[in-house]
Amino acid sequence: MRDTFATALKDAMRGGDKRRTSTLRLILAAIKDRDIANRGVGKDPVSDDEILAVLGKMVRQRAESAEAFEQGGRIELAEQEREEIAIIRDFLPKQLDEAGMRQACRSVVNDIGAGGLRDMGKCMNTLKERYPGAMDFSKASGIVKDMLQ
């Protein structure tokens, strides 16, 4: 994935796309920060799954910021955040829709043989392993919780 970001950054710089260039630089900086944090505790550089988690976090942060800007009447800043979300999502796997998310949750609950809320953690860990970056896990958590009750 790192090569993908480097290539995309070069292409954006050549094309003169300032928004895409700055967003890709932010992505690379976030990955480098995570690498440095891992190095401090003796871990390997971040894997592609961890990179997907970083991208998901960046999307959530920008969505929250866009909403706050919109409520504050700063529409131009909200649009800027939404443009960055679109750029980041180009590098994420296709997101599951509501029906797909429910099906995935149902499948995991059945595969694990979850019998109650005490199995919630196992279900969520399995979802994160099988669908990294492909769903909003906070929404999936609510779906799994409803299924286990």
Percent of the chain exceeding pLDDT 70 equals 100
Same domain? 85 vs 103: no
pLDDT band at 96 (very low <50, low <70, confident <90, very high): confident
* Domain span including residue 111: 98-148
Q: Could you report the per-residue pLDDT of 109-135, keeping only the tens digit for each? A: 888 888 888 888 888 888 888 887 788
Q: Could you report the per-residue pLDDT of 27-57, keeping only the tens digit for each? A: 999 999 998 988 887 788 888 878 888 888 8
Same domain? 56 vs 115: no
Closest CA to 30 of 72, 63, 78, 62: 62
The residue from 38, 61, 89 where one domain ends is: 89
With beta carbons less than 8 A apart as the criterion, state whether 109 and 144 touch: yes
CB burial string 7-39: b at 16+ within 10 A, e below: ebbeebeeeeeeebbebbeebeebbeebbeeee
Same domain? 28 vs 66: yes
Same domain? 6 vs 69: yes
For all residues of the chain together, what is the average pLDDT? 89
Same domain? 71 vs 49: yes
Same domain? 85 vs 16: yes
Same domain? 45 vs 104: no
Same domain? 43 vs 71: yes
Same domain? 36 vs 108: no
pLDDT band at 81 (very low <50, low <70, confident <90, very high): very high
DSSP state at residue 94: P
CATH number assigned to the domain comprising residue 125: 1.10.10.410
Q: In terms of C-beta density within 10 A (0-12 exposed, 13-18 middle, 19 or more buried), how is residue 94 classed?
A: exposed
Same domain? 80 vs 108: no
Number of domains observed in the structure of the chain: 2
Q: In whole angstroms, what is the distance from residue 74 CA to residue 17 CA?
A: 23
